[in-house]
Amino acid sequence: DQSNLAYSVGITLDRFIKLKQSDFPFASGELSQLLRDIALAAKIVNRETNRAGLANIGGAFGQTNVQGEEQQKLDVIANIRFMRALSKGGEVCAIVSEEEDAVIDLKNNSGKYVVAIDPLDGSSNIDVNISIGTIFSIYRRKTPVGSPITEADIMQPGNQQVAAGYVLYGSSTMLVYTTGCGINGFTYENSLGEFFLSHPDMKAPEDGKIYSINEGLEQEWEPAIAAYVRQCKAEKLQSRYIGSLVADFHRNLLKGGIYLYPATQKNPSGKLRLLYEANALALLIEQAGGTATDGHRRILDIQPESLHQRTPLIIGSRNMVEQVKGLIQSTP
Ligand code: AHM
Ligand code: MG
Protein backbone atom coordinates (compact mmCIF):
# COMPACT_ATOMS: atom_id res chain seq x y z
CA ASP A 1 0.00 0.00 0.00
CA GLN A 2 0.88 3.65 -0.13
CA SER A 3 2.39 3.79 3.36
CA ASN A 4 4.70 0.85 2.66
CA LEU A 5 5.69 2.49 -0.57
CA ALA A 6 6.49 5.72 1.24
CA TYR A 7 8.72 3.86 3.65
CA SER A 8 10.47 1.81 1.01
CA VAL A 9 11.48 4.87 -0.96
CA GLY A 10 12.58 6.51 2.28
CA ILE A 11 10.64 9.67 3.01
CA THR A 12 12.73 11.81 5.33
CA LEU A 13 11.14 14.05 7.93
CA ASP A 14 12.30 17.15 6.03
CA ARG A 15 10.70 15.96 2.85
CA PHE A 16 7.51 14.95 4.63
CA ILE A 17 7.21 18.35 6.31
CA LYS A 18 7.60 19.99 2.93
CA LEU A 19 5.02 17.69 1.33
CA LYS A 20 2.56 18.38 4.13
CA GLN A 21 3.04 22.11 4.32
CA SER A 22 -0.31 22.77 2.70
CA ASP A 23 -2.01 20.90 5.58
CA PHE A 24 -1.01 23.58 8.04
CA PRO A 25 -3.66 26.04 9.06
CA PHE A 26 -1.18 28.83 8.38
CA ALA A 27 0.97 27.68 5.50
CA SER A 28 3.73 30.23 5.89
CA GLY A 29 6.72 27.93 5.94
CA GLU A 30 7.66 29.17 9.40
CA LEU A 31 5.94 26.33 11.21
CA SER A 32 7.77 23.92 8.92
CA GLN A 33 11.04 25.55 9.84
CA LEU A 34 10.17 25.38 13.51
CA LEU A 35 9.48 21.65 13.27
CA ARG A 36 12.82 21.17 11.55
CA ASP A 37 14.56 23.14 14.33
CA ILE A 38 12.97 20.85 16.91
CA ALA A 39 14.05 17.77 14.96
CA LEU A 40 17.62 19.03 14.83
CA ALA A 41 17.71 19.63 18.58
CA ALA A 42 16.24 16.15 19.05
CA LYS A 43 19.13 14.66 17.08
CA ILE A 44 21.60 16.43 19.34
CA VAL A 45 19.81 15.31 22.50
CA ASN A 46 19.68 11.81 21.07
CA ARG A 47 23.45 11.87 20.71
CA GLU A 48 23.91 13.12 24.27
CA THR A 49 21.45 10.55 25.59
CA ASN A 50 23.28 7.74 23.86
CA ARG A 51 26.54 8.63 25.49
CA ALA A 52 25.11 9.56 28.86
CA GLY A 53 26.82 6.68 30.65
CA LEU A 54 30.06 6.93 28.73
CA ALA A 55 30.67 10.61 29.04
CA ASN A 56 29.75 10.49 32.71
CA ILE A 57 27.22 13.24 32.26
CA GLY A 58 24.30 11.36 33.84
CA GLY A 59 23.54 11.70 37.52
CA ALA A 60 22.48 14.44 39.80
CA PHE A 61 23.67 17.94 39.10
CA GLY A 62 23.05 19.10 42.63
CA GLN A 63 20.33 21.53 41.57
CA THR A 64 16.58 21.32 41.89
CA ASN A 65 14.15 22.63 39.32
CA VAL A 66 11.01 24.66 39.87
CA GLN A 67 8.98 21.66 41.08
CA GLY A 68 11.60 20.94 43.72
CA GLU A 69 12.66 17.75 41.99
CA GLU A 70 16.22 16.77 41.54
CA GLN A 71 17.43 17.92 38.17
CA GLN A 72 19.66 15.57 36.24
CA LYS A 73 22.48 16.89 34.24
CA LEU A 74 21.06 15.58 31.01
CA ASP A 75 17.85 17.56 31.64
CA VAL A 76 19.90 20.70 31.78
CA ILE A 77 21.68 19.79 28.59
CA ALA A 78 18.44 18.96 26.78
CA ASN A 79 16.90 22.20 27.98
CA ILE A 80 19.85 24.20 26.66
CA ARG A 81 19.75 22.40 23.30
CA PHE A 82 16.05 23.00 22.76
CA MET A 83 16.19 26.59 24.01
CA ARG A 84 18.97 27.30 21.58
CA ALA A 85 17.17 25.68 18.65
CA LEU A 86 13.93 27.50 19.42
CA SER A 87 15.51 30.88 19.93
CA LYS A 88 17.88 30.85 16.97
CA GLY A 89 15.29 30.05 14.33
CA GLY A 90 13.34 33.32 14.65
CA GLU A 91 9.87 31.73 14.46
CA VAL A 92 9.29 31.66 18.22
CA CYS A 93 8.49 34.59 20.53
CA ALA A 94 8.15 32.77 23.86
CA ILE A 95 8.95 29.41 25.46
CA VAL A 96 7.51 27.62 28.46
CA SER A 97 9.78 24.85 29.72
CA GLU A 98 9.51 22.38 32.56
CA GLU A 99 13.03 23.36 33.49
CA GLU A 100 12.36 27.10 33.67
CA ASP A 101 10.52 28.87 36.44
CA ALA A 102 9.13 31.67 34.28
CA VAL A 103 8.17 32.19 30.65
CA ILE A 104 11.19 32.78 28.44
CA ASP A 105 10.39 35.92 26.51
CA LEU A 106 12.72 35.82 23.52
CA LYS A 107 12.05 39.52 22.86
CA ASN A 108 11.52 38.49 19.30
CA ASN A 109 8.29 40.28 18.58
CA SER A 110 8.25 39.11 14.98
CA GLY A 111 8.05 35.47 16.11
CA LYS A 112 4.60 34.01 15.53
CA TYR A 113 4.80 30.93 17.71
CA VAL A 114 4.81 30.04 21.38
CA VAL A 115 6.32 26.69 22.37
CA ALA A 116 5.70 24.72 25.57
CA ILE A 117 8.23 21.96 26.08
CA ASP A 118 9.39 19.30 28.48
CA PRO A 119 12.91 18.90 27.10
CA LEU A 120 13.58 15.58 28.82
CA ASP A 121 10.72 13.82 30.51
CA GLY A 122 11.11 10.74 32.68
CA SER A 123 14.49 11.94 33.80
CA SER A 124 14.62 9.63 36.80
CA ASN A 125 15.11 6.92 34.15
CA ILE A 126 18.28 8.36 32.64
CA ASP A 127 20.70 6.72 35.02
CA VAL A 128 19.11 3.31 34.60
CA ASN A 129 19.16 3.25 30.81
CA ILE A 130 15.41 3.34 30.30
CA SER A 131 13.57 5.26 27.58
CA ILE A 132 13.02 8.97 28.05
CA GLY A 133 11.31 11.58 25.91
CA THR A 134 10.82 15.16 24.79
CA ILE A 135 7.28 16.54 24.63
CA PHE A 136 6.35 19.75 22.77
CA SER A 137 3.32 21.90 21.99
CA ILE A 138 3.23 24.73 19.47
CA TYR A 139 0.75 27.61 19.61
CA ARG A 140 0.26 30.61 17.43
CA ARG A 141 0.48 33.81 19.44
CA LYS A 142 -2.80 35.61 20.07
CA THR A 143 -1.48 39.16 20.09
CA PRO A 144 -0.42 40.74 16.78
CA VAL A 145 3.06 40.03 15.48
CA GLY A 146 5.28 42.99 16.32
CA SER A 147 3.81 43.63 19.77
CA PRO A 148 5.23 42.39 23.08
CA ILE A 149 3.93 39.01 24.27
CA THR A 150 1.20 38.90 26.90
CA GLU A 151 -0.39 36.29 29.14
CA ALA A 152 -3.02 35.63 26.44
CA ASP A 153 -0.26 34.27 24.19
CA ILE A 154 0.97 31.85 26.83
CA MET A 155 -2.16 30.68 28.66
CA GLN A 156 -3.90 29.02 25.73
CA PRO A 157 -5.95 25.86 26.11
CA GLY A 158 -4.69 22.76 24.29
CA ASN A 159 -7.38 23.03 21.64
CA GLN A 160 -5.42 26.01 20.25
CA GLN A 161 -2.29 23.97 19.49
CA VAL A 162 -1.24 24.19 15.85
CA ALA A 163 1.20 21.32 16.23
CA ALA A 164 2.45 18.96 18.90
CA GLY A 165 4.68 15.96 19.20
CA TYR A 166 7.20 13.94 21.12
CA VAL A 167 10.58 12.38 20.69
CA LEU A 168 11.16 8.97 22.23
CA TYR A 169 14.76 8.11 22.99
CA GLY A 170 14.28 4.36 23.19
CA SER A 171 15.58 1.17 21.62
CA SER A 172 15.34 3.34 18.57
CA THR A 173 14.71 7.07 18.56
CA MET A 174 11.42 8.24 17.13
CA LEU A 175 9.73 11.54 16.48
CA VAL A 176 5.93 11.54 16.35
CA TYR A 177 4.02 14.70 15.53
CA THR A 178 0.77 16.18 14.33
CA THR A 179 -0.25 19.45 12.77
CA GLY A 180 -3.89 18.60 13.24
CA CYS A 181 -4.28 16.35 10.21
CA GLY A 182 -3.53 12.94 11.67
CA ILE A 183 -0.32 11.81 13.30
CA ASN A 184 2.85 10.41 11.80
CA GLY A 185 5.89 8.69 13.26
CA PHE A 186 9.50 8.86 12.10
CA THR A 187 12.37 6.61 13.12
CA TYR A 188 15.89 7.93 13.40
CA GLU A 189 18.57 6.33 11.24
CA ASN A 190 21.75 6.94 13.17
CA SER A 191 24.28 6.43 10.45
CA LEU A 192 22.46 8.74 8.03
CA GLY A 193 21.44 11.25 10.68
CA GLU A 194 17.89 11.38 9.35
CA PHE A 195 14.40 10.67 10.61
CA PHE A 196 12.47 8.46 8.15
CA LEU A 197 8.72 8.05 7.95
CA SER A 198 8.09 4.65 9.54
CA HIS A 199 4.59 4.95 11.05
CA PRO A 200 2.35 6.85 8.63
CA ASP A 201 -1.10 7.91 9.79
CA MET A 202 -1.00 6.21 13.19
CA LYS A 203 -4.32 5.11 14.70
CA ALA A 204 -4.99 4.33 18.34
CA PRO A 205 -6.88 1.04 18.64
CA GLU A 206 -10.39 1.70 20.03
CA ASP A 207 -9.84 -0.93 22.68
CA GLY A 208 -6.76 -2.34 24.30
CA LYS A 209 -5.38 -4.91 26.67
CA ILE A 210 -2.86 -2.77 28.52
CA TYR A 211 -3.34 -0.51 31.54
CA SER A 212 -0.56 1.71 32.83
CA ILE A 213 -0.68 3.28 36.27
CA ASN A 214 1.63 3.55 39.27
CA GLU A 215 -0.08 0.92 41.43
CA GLY A 216 2.10 1.75 44.40
CA LEU A 217 -0.15 4.74 44.96
CA GLU A 218 -3.36 2.70 45.10
CA GLN A 219 -4.21 3.77 48.64
CA GLU A 220 -4.22 7.40 47.51
CA TRP A 221 -6.63 6.98 44.57
CA GLU A 222 -10.22 7.97 44.48
CA PRO A 223 -12.61 4.98 44.57
CA ALA A 224 -13.48 5.11 40.85
CA ILE A 225 -9.84 4.65 39.82
CA ALA A 226 -9.45 1.74 42.23
CA ALA A 227 -12.66 0.23 40.84
CA TYR A 228 -11.37 0.55 37.27
CA VAL A 229 -8.07 -1.12 38.08
CA ARG A 230 -9.91 -3.95 39.87
CA GLN A 231 -11.92 -4.37 36.68
CA CYS A 232 -8.73 -4.49 34.58
CA LYS A 233 -7.44 -7.24 36.84
CA ALA A 234 -10.73 -9.15 36.71
CA GLU A 235 -10.43 -9.07 32.91
CA LYS A 236 -6.77 -10.11 33.19
CA LEU A 237 -5.47 -7.15 31.22
CA GLN A 238 -1.74 -6.59 31.07
CA SER A 239 -0.22 -4.18 33.55
CA ARG A 240 2.64 -2.20 31.99
CA TYR A 241 4.25 0.84 33.59
CA ILE A 242 7.64 2.22 32.62
CA GLY A 243 7.34 5.46 34.58
CA SER A 244 8.38 7.38 31.50
CA LEU A 245 5.31 9.08 30.10
CA VAL A 246 6.37 9.21 26.45
CA ALA A 247 7.34 5.54 26.44
CA ASP A 248 4.17 4.41 28.20
CA PHE A 249 2.07 6.57 25.87
CA HIS A 250 3.84 5.37 22.74
CA ARG A 251 3.44 1.69 23.58
CA ASN A 252 -0.24 2.11 24.37
CA LEU A 253 -0.79 4.11 21.19
CA LEU A 254 0.66 1.32 19.08
CA LYS A 255 -0.81 -1.63 20.95
CA GLY A 256 -4.01 -0.26 22.43
CA GLY A 257 -4.20 0.66 26.08
CA ILE A 258 -4.79 3.28 28.70
CA TYR A 259 -2.43 5.42 30.78
CA LEU A 260 -3.64 6.93 34.04
CA TYR A 261 -2.01 9.41 36.36
CA PRO A 262 -4.90 10.29 38.62
CA ALA A 263 -5.17 12.65 41.56
CA THR A 264 -3.45 11.30 44.67
CA GLN A 265 -3.40 12.51 48.26
CA LYS A 266 0.08 13.87 47.72
CA ASN A 267 -0.79 15.42 44.35
CA PRO A 268 -4.50 16.30 44.42
CA SER A 269 -4.28 17.55 40.82
CA GLY A 270 -2.22 14.61 39.63
CA LYS A 271 1.47 14.84 38.90
CA LEU A 272 1.71 15.67 35.23
CA ARG A 273 1.80 19.17 33.84
CA LEU A 274 -0.94 20.50 31.59
CA LEU A 275 1.06 22.88 29.41
CA TYR A 276 3.99 20.76 28.36
CA GLU A 277 3.03 17.15 29.13
CA ALA A 278 -0.72 16.54 28.93
CA ASN A 279 -1.77 18.89 26.12
CA ALA A 280 0.59 17.62 23.44
CA LEU A 281 -0.25 13.98 24.10
CA ALA A 282 -3.96 14.82 24.25
CA LEU A 283 -3.84 16.38 20.79
CA LEU A 284 -1.87 13.43 19.42
CA ILE A 285 -4.23 10.82 20.88
CA GLU A 286 -7.31 12.62 19.59
CA GLN A 287 -5.75 12.90 16.15
CA ALA A 288 -5.17 9.15 16.29
CA GLY A 289 -8.77 8.45 17.31
CA GLY A 290 -8.28 8.11 21.08
CA THR A 291 -9.31 10.29 24.01
CA ALA A 292 -7.76 12.26 26.88
CA THR A 293 -9.57 13.50 29.97
CA ASP A 294 -8.94 14.59 33.53
CA GLY A 295 -11.95 12.48 34.48
CA HIS A 296 -14.42 15.31 34.01
CA ARG A 297 -13.14 17.54 31.25
CA ARG A 298 -11.51 17.05 27.89
CA ILE A 299 -7.82 17.82 28.50
CA LEU A 300 -7.71 20.07 25.43
CA ASP A 301 -10.49 22.29 26.80
CA ILE A 302 -8.89 23.07 30.16
CA GLN A 303 -8.11 26.76 30.44
CA PRO A 304 -4.65 26.99 32.02
CA GLU A 305 -4.33 29.22 35.04
CA SER A 306 -0.68 28.83 35.83
CA LEU A 307 2.45 27.89 33.97
CA HIS A 308 3.32 24.68 35.79
CA GLN A 309 -0.24 23.64 36.53
CA ARG A 310 -0.81 19.92 37.04
CA THR A 311 -3.71 17.84 35.82
CA PRO A 312 -4.93 14.30 36.33
CA LEU A 313 -4.44 12.48 33.02
CA ILE A 314 -6.39 9.53 31.67
CA ILE A 315 -5.40 8.93 28.07
CA GLY A 316 -5.45 6.26 25.40
CA SER A 317 -7.84 3.93 23.61
CA ARG A 318 -11.25 5.51 23.38
CA ASN A 319 -13.42 2.78 24.91
CA MET A 320 -11.09 2.29 27.86
CA VAL A 321 -10.97 6.00 28.67
CA GLU A 322 -14.77 6.26 28.34
CA GLN A 323 -15.13 3.41 30.81
CA VAL A 324 -13.05 5.25 33.43
CA LYS A 325 -14.98 8.47 32.80
CA GLY A 326 -18.22 6.58 33.35
CA LEU A 327 -16.97 5.20 36.66
CA ILE A 328 -15.74 8.58 37.87
CA GLN A 329 -18.95 10.31 36.97
CA SER A 330 -21.17 7.63 38.54
CA THR A 331 -19.19 7.23 41.77
CA PRO A 332 -20.25 9.67 44.48
P1 AHM B 1 9.32 14.29 35.33
O2 AHM B 1 8.75 15.38 34.47
O3 AHM B 1 9.88 14.79 36.62
O4 AHM B 1 10.26 13.40 34.58
O5 AHM B 1 8.06 13.40 35.81
C6 AHM B 1 7.17 12.93 34.87
C7 AHM B 1 7.18 11.43 34.89
C8 AHM B 1 6.48 10.83 33.72
O9 AHM B 1 7.33 10.58 32.66
C10 AHM B 1 5.95 9.56 34.29
O11 AHM B 1 4.84 9.11 33.59
C12 AHM B 1 5.63 9.92 35.68
O13 AHM B 1 6.47 11.00 36.03
C14 AHM B 1 5.87 8.82 36.65
O15 AHM B 1 5.57 9.24 37.94
P16 AHM B 1 5.60 8.22 39.17
O17 AHM B 1 7.02 7.86 39.40
O18 AHM B 1 5.00 8.99 40.31
O19 AHM B 1 4.77 7.03 38.79
MG1 MG C 1 8.27 15.95 32.78
Starting at the edge strand found earlier in the chain, the sheet holding 238-239 runs 238-239, 210-212, 257-261, 313-316, 291-293
Give ion ligand 2 contacts, CB < 5 A.
118, 121
pLDDT in tens, 101-146: 999 999 998 999 999 999 999 978 887 889 999 999 999 999 999 9
pLDDT of 66: 65
Q: How far is the CA of 120 from the centre of ligand 2 (A)?
A: 7
Of all atoms in ligand 1, which is nearest to the CA of residue 272?
A: 6
Q: In this structure, how many other beta carbons lie within 10 angstroms of the beta carbon of residue 56?
A: 9
Which parts of 235-314 fold into alpha helices (H)? 245-255, 279-287
Listed in sequence order, the residues at least 6 apart from 238 whose beta carbon sits closer than 8 Å to its beta carbon are 209, 210, 211, 257
pLDDT of 63: 53
d(CA 285, CA 182) in angstroms, rounded, equals: 9
Q: Is the dihedral of CA 128, 99, 83, 10 positive or negative?
A: positive
Q: How confident is the model at residue 55 (pLDDT cuts 50, 70, 90)?
A: low
Summary mean pLDDT of the chain = 91
- What ipTM is given for this predicted complex? 0.96
Listed in sequence order, the residues at least 6 apart from 9 whose beta carbon sits closer than 8 Å to its beta carbon are none
* Res. 61: pLDDT tops 60: no
Q: How confident is the model at residue 267 (pLDDT cuts 50, 70, 90)?
A: very high
Q: Please state which of the ranges 15-19, 20-24, 80-84 shows the lowest mean pLDDT.
A: 20-24
Q: How far is the CA of 243 from the centre of ligand 1 (A)?
A: 6
Q: How far is the CA of 118 from the centre of ligand 2 (A)?
A: 6
Q: How confident is the model at residue 56 (pLDDT cuts 50, 70, 90)?
A: low
Of all atoms in ligand 1, which is nearest to the CA of residue 98?
A: 2
pLDDT of 52: 72
* Res. 70: pLDDT tops 90: no
* Res. 69: pLDDT tops 90: no
d(CA 26, CA 1) in angstroms, rounded, equals: 30
Of all atoms in ligand 1, which is nearest to the CA of residue 273?
A: 2
Among 124, 126, 252, 260, name the best residue to mutate to test ligand 1's pocket (greatest count of ligand atoms within 8 A of Cβ): 124
Question: Taking a C-beta distance cutoff of 8 angstroms, is the pair 292, 251 a contact?
Answer: no
Question: Taking a C-beta distance cutoff of 8 angstroms, is the pair 253, 290 a contact?
Answer: yes
> Which of 264, 269, 271 shows the shortest CA–CA distance to 297?
269
pTM (2 decimals)? 0.93
Q: Which residues line ligand 1 (CB under 6 A)?
A: 69, 98, 118, 121-123, 214, 243-245, 248, 271
